[in-house]
Copies of this chain bind each other. A is one copy, B any other.
Amino acid sequence: MTKPAGVREAAIPALAEVFREHGYAGASLALLCARAGLGKGSLYHAFPGGKAEMAEAVLDAIGAWFEAELYAPLREEPDPHAAIGRMFHAVKGYFQSGRRACLVGAFALSDDRDRFATRIADYFRAWRDALADALRRAGRDDAAALAEDTVLAIQGGLVLARALDDPMVFGRLLARLETRLNG
């Protein structure tokens, strides 16, 4: 029943961390192998497409995680306020209170964007639209603009928190956003 899990899925979190820390260009095969604890042979057996396929797999895994943990609840949870609260909680945990960067956001800023354009766009579009849906069900008439503002502010918060090396910036932002959205 349950897939044999495989080297592939087991390696993805480690690969994700390398891409997150060094960017696509900076993530060398040597780094990828070391972090994954695998030789080149194993890595290329699991990802015949090489570095590009590894990055795609990582983006897919991130997208799937956000879809399951954030977007689906935002769309389907009967109580939109609860779903929004859960979103902030998940975001805080995922980004380690601002210490961890957003891989998708980082890719969007460089020319790696072109290579992974649809995955990157889908990630943010799904987030923005799911949040707008929840806000609409919560009775906000400015749902679309507010959702866009929120998603974008989270990305900016990560940039600024890392730039100033001050996770509090991210924490403060999340608090401000949550009161703006949930009252």
Contact = CB atoms under 8 A, between A and B. Distances in A.
Interface stretch (A61-69, A73-81, A159-167): A159-167
A172 B145 contact: yes
A169 B152 contact: yes
A120 B162 CA distance: 9
19 contacts: A21-B111, A22-B111, A23-B26, A26-B111, A105-B163, A106-B106, A106-B110, A109-B158, A113-B163, A117-B165, A120-B163, A121-B164, A124-B164, A148-B160, A151-B156, A152-B157, A152-B173, A153-B153, A159-B159
A32 interface: no
A62 B159 CA distance: 17
A145 B152 CA distance: 17
A173 B169 CA distance: 20
Q: Chain A contact residues: over half helix, strand or loop, or mixed?
A: helix
- Chain A's interface size range is 35 or more
Interface in A143-183: 145, 148-149, 151-160, 162-165, 169, 172-173, 176
Interface of A: 21-26, 101-102, 104-106, 108-113, 117, 120-121, 123-125, 145, 148-149, 151-160, 162-165, 169, 172-173, 176
Contacts of A112: 26
A107 to B, nearest CB: 8
Contacts of A149: 153, 173, 176
Contacts of A117: 165
Contacts of A125: 164
B163 A108 contact: yes
Contact of A124 (B26, B106, B154, B160): B160
